[in-house]
């Protein structure tokens, strides 16, 4: 069954962006091994596209949880083929209004045909798998 909300995209980051990321994090270690691991956050583009599609304003969005499984080192200037799926969503009444919880899963690969291949993960052909839990606050009250 095809997931209801799915967004595929090609994405990349530059060496300069990785350098800016190190600076923004106030990276203190003298050795910079490749790129900062959480630069994988640039692949949240798919989440932002789906949030936009769902007409959820960013100002209502808080980040609940994040997970990364790294299979291969990310490299600057490489074109990655990515797929983001809205895996799950539910609502809950909080003390300050209704809260909506969304779970996104993003797979980052080099080759587009691997995106749909469940074996790609097992054979380490994906670079990173990302799972993001988002909380949407009701700010109308």
Partner 1 sequence: MNEFLKGSKLPSFQKPAITREQLALYARASQDNNPIHLDEEVAKKAGLPSVIAHGMLTMAFMGEYLYFILKHLGWDGGKISKMSCHFKAMVFPGDEITIQGTVKQVTNEKLECEIDAINSKKEVVAIGTGVLSSH
How many helices, marked H, and strands, marked E, lie in the chain? 3, 5
Taking the complex as a whole, how short is the minimal distance between the CB of residue 132 and partner 1, in angstroms?
Answer: 10
Task: Give the interface size with partner 1 as a residue count (CB under 8 A).
Answer: 37
Whether 68 contacts 40, CB under 8 Å: yes
96 near partner 1, judged by CB under 8 A: yes
| Alpha-carbon span 4 to 23, nearest angstrom | 38
Q: Which of 138, 114, 140 is nearest to 129 (CA)?
A: 114
Taking the complex as a whole, how short is the minimal distance between the CB of residue 118 and partner 1, in angstroms?
Answer: 19
Integer CA distances (angstroms), 89 to 4, 9, 10, 99, 140, in order = 12, 22, 25, 11, 20
Identified binder of partner 1 from the candidate list 6, 25, 53, 54, rule CB under 8 A: 25
> Which residue lies nearer to partner 1 by CB, 57 or 113?
57
| Alpha-carbon span 68 to 43, nearest angstrom | 11
Q: Which of 75, 13, 87, 14 is nearest to 45 (CA)?
A: 13
Which residues ranging from 99 to 128 are in contact with partner 1 (CB under 8 A)? Answer: none
Taking the complex as a whole, how short is the minimal distance between the CB of residue 85 and partner 1, in angstroms?
Answer: 18
> Which residue lies nearer to partner 1 by CB, 14 or 112?
14
20 near partner 1, judged by CB under 8 A: yes
Please give the residue ranges that form the binding site for partner 1 (CB under 8 A). 17, 20-21, 23-29, 31, 33, 36-39, 41-42, 44-45, 58-70, 73, 96, 137, 139
């Amino acid at each position: 069954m095809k997931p209801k909300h799915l967004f595929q995209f090609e994405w990349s980051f530059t060496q300069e962006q990785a350098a800016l990321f190190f600076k923004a994090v106030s990276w203190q270690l003298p050795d910079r091994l490749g790129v900062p691991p959480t630069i994988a956050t640039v692949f949240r583009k798919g989440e932002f596209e789906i949030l936009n599609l769902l007409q959820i304003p960013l100002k209502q969005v808080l980040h609940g949880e994040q997970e990364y499984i790294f299979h291969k080192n990310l490299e600057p200037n490489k074109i990655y083929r990515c797929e983001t799926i809205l895996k799950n969503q539910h609502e809950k009444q909080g003390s300050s209004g209704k809260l909506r919880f969304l779970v996104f899963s993003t797979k980052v690969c080099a080759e587009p045909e691997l995106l749909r291949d469940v074996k790609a993960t097992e054979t380490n052909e994906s670079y990173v798998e990302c799972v993001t839990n988002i909380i949407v606050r009701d700010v109308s009250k």
